[in-house]
Amino acid sequence: MVRHGVVGRSLRLIAGWPWLGICLFLLLALVVMGPMLNVFLWAFTRNWAYPSLLPTVWSIEFWDDTFARADILEGFIASVWISLIVTGLSAVICLPAAYAFARMQFPGRTFLLLSFLATNAFPRFGLYITIAVIFFRLRLIGTVPGVVLIQLVNTLLFMIWIPTAAFQGVDRALEEAALDVGASPMRVFVQVTLPLVAPALAAALLLTFVGTFYETQGALLVGVPEVRTLPVVMIRLINNQVVVQYGAILSVALWVPSLLLLIFAQRVLRGNTIASGFGV
Amino acid sequence: MTVAGSRGTLPEPATYSGRFRIPQSVLGYALILLPLIVMGTLILYPAFLSITDTLTERSPGGSLQVSLADYVEFFNTPLAVRNLAFSLRITAVTVAVLFLAGFPISLYLRFTHGRLGNLIQMLALFPLFVPGIIAAYALIRFIGDNGWLERFLHLLFGYEGFTSPYLRPAGIVVGLAWEGISITVLILTAGLSQIPDSLLETATDVGANRWQAFWRITMPLMKRSVLIVLTLNFLTVFGSFTIPYLLGPASPEMMGPYMRRTFYDANLPSRAQVQAVITFLISAVISLLYVRSVVSQKVEEES
């Protein structure tokens, strides 16, 4: 593509100052990757004296200790279960609605679809406090149902918007062709529509599961003291400052699998799907 | 009609020849009822209840009457007012920092192509893939006393005057800016990508220079994206909890940790309710601006 005019000149300007991009890159690399790399190193450290840039004594001895801790194990199990329940519940509630939003005509459809942005329009923690006050009266504080319900709030928007976009992306000609040759609507849905939207649905489920697994503020506000998910356990590790390595190992062990899942989800979704959830 | 991320227009609904024909609108409403109920009971009802709870008072006779007593009490509590002012200050600074960091990155990404641009984009979007609690933990190690940042400054520049922002107001700004940069860049680059090259080229063809093209074309066309970014960041930062709770000072504290302490440690749910409603009221104008610009954008996409 031949570039000229303003764009061309901007390009030449940037190309003429390669250090601009390189400086931006180095700065971002330090600020963005620095903290993560630092935690990575801490997970394999026994001793790290100031001012050495690298651990002074390397070791993996804390890994066994970390996973032998009862609170971490229990937190992990609680997080997995609660995230599975929230994701399943959210799917049951939202997926049929997404289908309706994508495929059916009814008055107020656009308005109702946009109304799910309401979750973004409140200062989040203030909203959680008002929910917690009701849960307090209903004696849902410190219970699993309480945590599930407050975490459900977070999942609605993406669980409706991503599948709605996916159902709308299916080429109707394919379905109509199947109908024409005599397939039942149910069979068309299962054998034609579903396989086409499956990757996007899987991405929505993954995003919801990972997002719920690490959801911290709702779980802390409503779950404590009886229900402690893993992020809540991590908060306690941070506040008590026991051993730096516990938190670091937990971060590395959990973050790497979640990163792979999120990258997969991002690959499947079209570039702007996540941005669209924020109103772009 | 289309929604976010869809392509083209939606064809007329297919006429499936089923044995039973339920009107489509009825079926549509039936399918979307469940999430609407969840949203009503878990978002709108709690917010509404808190507003009515805090605005009414039971008189000695037992009847309900409107009363601003709860709010008068809030604004007569020095600690509460101090925390509110602190929250607003931190929010303003963080929103400004995010915009000043995000806008140049987005501009760079819009007008550059190639490997370096891709790498910068990857880095800018990276925090999106880091769960908040892990980011908080990593940042504490990085910016804390004797952390990596201090060691870098010491070894590279021999700088000794480092004071860690951890557990100071600046720590909150650093943490929230780290978390928010991805969404900021994402929204701004999406906005910039909607400005066609041809438009900018036309401007130069009629004699505008680069600055004129930027101020007269790019900026006006970016108004809505900028508004969305500023309002969304305000709501996210003002309503945040985890980062201020873990990285910020114990006093003054932002409304998030303050409300949690009132609710949980002080065990005063009704007072926490007042604090929550005050955060709603203060951000009401911002919420309205956010919703309006998003809705106008979507409606425009539809037509």
Find the CATH number of the domain harbouring B194: 1.10.3720.10
> A54 at the B interface (CB within 8 A)?
no
pLDDT at B232: 94
Residue B4 has pLDDT above 50, yes or no: no
Residue B20 clears pLDDT 80, i.e. is over it: no
Task: Please give, rounded to a whole number of angstroms, the shortest distance from the CA of A259 to a CA of chain B.
Answer: 6
Structure confidence at residue A6 (pLDDT): 57
> What pTM was computed for the model?
0.89
Strand, helix or coil for residue A47? strand
User: B302 pLDDT band (50/70/90 cuts)?
Assistant: low
CB atoms within 10 A of CB B95: 25
* pLDDT given at position B8: 42
- The distance of A262 to chain B (nearest Cα, Å) reads 7
Main-chain dihedrals φ then ψ at residue B175, nearest 5 degrees: -65, -45
For residue range A132-146, what is the model confidence (pLDDT) as tens digits? Answer: 999 999 999 999 999
Distance from CA of B195 to the nearest CA of A (A): 11
Closest chain B residue by Cα to residue A188: B16
More confident residue, B152 or B85: B85
pLDDT of residue B105: 93
> What pLDDT, on a 0 to 100 scale, did the predictor assign at position B214?
82
Of A29 and B207, the structure prediction assigns the larger pLDDT to: A29
Domain count, chain B: 1
Task: With H, G, I as helix, E, B as strand and everything else as coil, classify residue A136.
Answer: helix
pLDDT bin (cut points 50, 70, 90) of residue B7 is very low
What is the extent of the structural domain holding B278?
87-302
pLDDT above 90: residue A275? no
Do B133 and A122 count as a contact with CB atoms less than 8 A apart? no
Q: What is the pLDDT of residues A27-53, one digit of tens each?
A: 999 999 999 999 999 999 998 888 888
Query: d(Cα B28, Cα A98) in Å, to the nearest integer?
Result: 10
Query: Residue A131: how many CA atoms within 13 Å on its side-chain side?
Result: 30
Is B56 contained in some domain?
no
Q: Give residue B91's pLDDT.
A: 98
CA dist B42 and A109 (Å) reads 21
Residue A266's alpha-carbon distances to A33, A156, A259, B185, in angstroms, are 19, 18, 10, 16
Q: What integer pLDDT is reported at residue A17 of this predicted model?
A: 64
The answer to whether residue A261 neighbours chain B at the CB level (below 8 Å) is no
CB B48 within 8 A of CB A110: no
Task: Report which listed range, A84-88, B51-55, B161-165, is most confident.
Answer: A84-88
* B100-118: average pLDDT: 88
Predicted confidence band of residue A10 (pLDDT cuts 50, 70, 90): low
**A268 vs B: CB within 8 A:** no
CATH topology of domain A63-276: MetI-like fold (1.10.3720)
Q: Which residue has the tokens 């021999």?
A: B158
Considering only B40-49, B79-88, B163-172, B202-211, which range has the smallest mean pLDDT? B202-211
A90 — pLDDT class (breaks 50, 70, 90): very high
CB contact under 8 A, A114 and B294: yes
How high is the pLDDT of residue B47?
94
Q: Does A110 contact B298 at a Cβ distance shorter than 8 Å?
A: yes
Considering chain B, what is the average pLDDT of its residues?
A: 88
Task: Give me the phi and psi of B161, to 5 degrees please.
Answer: -85, 20
Contact flag B242-A216 (C-beta cutoff 8 Å): yes
User: What is the pLDDT at residue B74?
Assistant: 95
The answer to whether A6 contacts B44, with C-beta atoms less than 8 Å apart, is no
Provide the 3-class DSSP secondary structure of residue A58. strand
Dihedral Cα B213, B215, B216, B221, nearest 10 deg: 100
**Shortest CA distance from B37: residue in chain A:** A93
| pLDDT tens track for B226-278 | 999 999 999 999 999 999 999 999 999 999 999 999 999 999 999 999 999 99
Binned at pLDDT 50, 70 and 90, residue B157 comes out as confident
Using CA atoms, how far residue A1 sits from A7, A213, B86, in Å, is: 12, 45, 51
Q: What is the pLDDT of residue B10?
A: 44
Task: Output the 3-class SS for chain B.
Answer: CCCCCCCCCCCCCCCCCCCCCCCHHHHHHHHHHHHHHHHHHHHHHHHHHHHHHHHEEECCCCCEEECCHHHHHHHCCHHHHHHHHHHHHHHHHHHHHHHHHHHHHHHHHHCCCCHHHHHHHHHHHHHHHCCHHHHHHHHHHHHCCCCHHHHHHHHHHCCCCCCCCCCCHHHHHHHHHHHHHHHHHHHHHHHHHCCCHHHHHHHHHCCCCHHHHHHHHHHHHHHHHHHHHHHHHHHHHHCCCHHHHHHCCCCCCCHHHHHHHHHHHCCCHHHHHHHHHHHHHHHHHHHHHHHHHHHHHHHHHHC
Tell me where in chain A the CATH 1.10.3720.10 domain(s) lie: 63-276
pLDDT value of position A257: 78
Residue A235 has pLDDT above 80, yes or no: yes
Q: Determine the Cα–Cα distance for residues A211 and A141; give it in Å rounded to an integer.
A: 21
Mean per-residue pLDDT of chain A: 87
Q: Which residue has the higher pLDDT, B68 or B161?
A: B68
A205 touches chain B (CB under 8 A): no
Most distant CA pair in chain A: distance in Å? Answer: 75
Residue B46: inside a domain, yes or no? no
SS3 (DSSP) at A215: coil
pLDDT band at B81; cut points 50, 70, 90: very high
For tokens 């401007």, the residue is: B203
Residue-level pLDDT at B284 = 92
Show residues of chain A in contact with B269, CB under 8 Å.
132-133, 136
- CA torsion B267→B270→B273→B278, rounded to 10°? -110
Q: What is the pLDDT of residue A274?
A: 63
Whether residue A3 has pLDDT greater than 50: no
Does the structure show a pLDDT above 90 at A237?
no
**Nearest-CB residue to B13 (from A103, A136, A164):** A103
Q: Would you place residue B2 in the very low, low, confident or very high pLDDT band (cuts 50, 70, 90)?
A: very low
Does residue B79 belong to any structural domain of this protein?
Answer: no
| Torsion angle of C-alpha atoms B115, B120, B121, B123, degrees rounded to 10 | 130
Give residue A240's pLDDT.
Answer: 80
Closest CA relative to residue A160, chosen from A101, A245, A80:
A101
Residue in B with minimal Cα distance to A213? B131
